Structures are given as structure tokens and as C-alpha cells.
Amino acid sequence: MKTTNQLQTLDRGIQALAIIAQQAGGITIADLAARLEIHRAIVYRIVSTLEAHALISRSPEGQIYLGGGLLVLASRFEPQLRSVARPLLQALAGETRATAYVSLAQGEECVVIMVAEPEEGLLRVGYRVGSRHPLTLGAAGIAILASRPERPGDPEAVRQARRDGYSLTRGQLQRGAVGVASAIHAPDRPRTGFEACIGVVAMDDLNTEVAIAAVMSAAGRLAALTQP
């Protein structure tokens, strides 16, 4: 019975983090209790535990937000992501005959942290580790923005990518380049502040139908392997 209770508490704590992550303006104890459908007293204990580990924080007005402890966990997640992603990335490059990559959000920019080149193909896009571009441009940036909660004023490209589960762009970062990307995130799991996507980029001859299916499959597998 004790083990069952502990697992139930853990499950509620994870659910609480997922709910809090979706509230840009924070959430109150009362609203969190209503969303979890449990008594406020239980929510107070969950919140106190999460706060003790810096996974959430509370404003003077009582609003609950994600805490800085999640950023610490996120920073430790990157090496794990690299290790798990390498074979998937190489397989993605081979399947699509395009340059495959993993990118992260850093501030208002999208930064490439891993690249895999296909063994076949003559024309390749110059996508290199460390390359940066605004989140608002390119398939990678748009895919990351689409993984965030909906906001008023989201560009149509972001709204479309949110509906589709992937972003498809043409010629935004390099003339003639076609990019496909999908966020590495399981929608039913809490966000940690670590935002990433996987994608491919090639010239006009990219088979987008194959690329979309392959990228979304790779994103799903990475999410399953790396998300809590």
C-alpha cells in the first residue's frame, strides 16, 4: 500500500508540473487543485515538495510557476540527448538523403548542436554545428515555437506547424533550401525549459513526403527516449 501511495503522489507531482508549464501567467493553488481534481490540502503538500527542490516557485501573490531547478535538470539532459540522438540522426540523414540535425532554443535564437550528413547525394546545405538563426525563421525555429502553448499573435506558420506536428519551410535561411523539423517533446509530459527539435534540410530535390514521415518518427522516438 505504501508503494502505491508513493507512486500516486509522484504521478500527481508530474501532472502538476505539466499543468503549471502550460500557464504562462502562473496558476493558483485553487486552480491547480481543480485541474488535478484533488483536495487543496494535498496540492499544498505537492507544491511544497516541488518548491523544496526548486522545481517550482511561488510569487508573493501566490501564483505558481516552474522553478529554476528544472533548468539544472535540462542542462544535464543535453549530453544524454547527444548520446541517444546520434544513431537516430545518422539513420534520418540516410533515409531522407538530406542533412539531419538537432537544434535547441537559446533565448530568441535556434542553435544547431548536432549534424549528420547523408552518404549519398551531391548537393548539400551548409548546416553546421553552432549555426544560429532567429526562432521565427527556418523549420527548426518554427517547430520549437509551435511546441509552446498557443499565444495570441502567433504567426500563421507557427499555428500551422502546431496543427501538423511539423514545420515545412522553403528558402527562408538559404536560397533553394527546403527544411522539415519537428519538436522533441511529448505533449502529455512536463516541460523542463529545454526546447529542442530534430529535422532535415536539403535543396529543392528533397522528397518532402518521405522527410515529413521520417522526421516525425525520429522526433517521437527521441521524445520517448529522453523525456521524463
Over the chain (228 residues), what is each successive 10-residue block's mean pLDDT?
60 87 85 93 92 89 85 68 83 93 87 86 66 90 91 92 95 88 70 77 88 94 74
At 172 the pLDDT is: 87
CB-count exposure of residue 206 (10 Å: 0-12, 13-18, 19+): buried
At 35 the pLDDT is: 92
Which residue in 62, 81, 41 sits closest to 185, CA to CA?
Answer: 81
CATH of 2-67, one of 3.40.190.10, 3.30.540.10, 3.30.750.80, 1.10.10.10: 1.10.10.10
| Alpha helices by DSSP H, the chain | 2-21, 29-36, 40-52, 69-96, 138-146, 156-164, 208-226
At 190 the pLDDT is: 47
At 211 the pLDDT is: 96
What's the pTM value of the predicted model, to 2 decimals? Answer: 0.66
- Give domain 70-226's CATH architecture: 2-Layer Sandwich (3.30)
All structural domains of the chain with their residue ranges: 2-67, 70-226
